[in-house]
């Protein structure tokens, strides 16, 4: 399945949240590395996986659901 990778700024434009809110409140609290975003090539840059972010927003996924996605 092809994924759509977004920078924090691009994600901000799509979900209408401030970039700072995404970085400080959503990242690692609601959006998790390896599920909702990746760090390509082990670098500092973060790319969000749009399809996974959108699915979590629509379904209101709980932490339990997210853990089950990994298994």
- What are 17-56's pLDDT values in tens digits? 999 999 999 999 999 999 999 999 999 999 999 999 999 9
User: Which parts of the chain are beta strand (E)?
Assistant: 5-6, 37-38, 47-49
Q: Cα separation of 46 and 71, whole Å? A: 23
Cα maximum dimension of the chain:
32
pLDDT tier at 59 (50, 70, 90 boundaries)? confident
pLDDT tier at 64 (50, 70, 90 boundaries)? low
- Rounded alpha-carbon distances, angstroms, from residue 43 to 17, 19, 21: 24, 19, 22
Q: Return the pLDDT at 69.
A: 58
Determine whether 44 is exposed, middle or buried from the number of CB atoms within 10 Å of its CB (0-12, 13-18, 19+): exposed
């Amino acid at each position: 399945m092809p994924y759509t990778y977004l920078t924090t700024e691009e994600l901000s434009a799509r979900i209408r949240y401030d970039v700072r809110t995404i970085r400080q409140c959503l990242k690692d609290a609601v959006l998790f590395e390896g599920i909702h975003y990746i760090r390509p090539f082990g670098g500092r840059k973060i790319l969000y996986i749009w399809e996974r972010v959108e699915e979590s927003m629509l379904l209101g996924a709980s932490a339990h659901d997210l853990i089950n996605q990994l298994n």
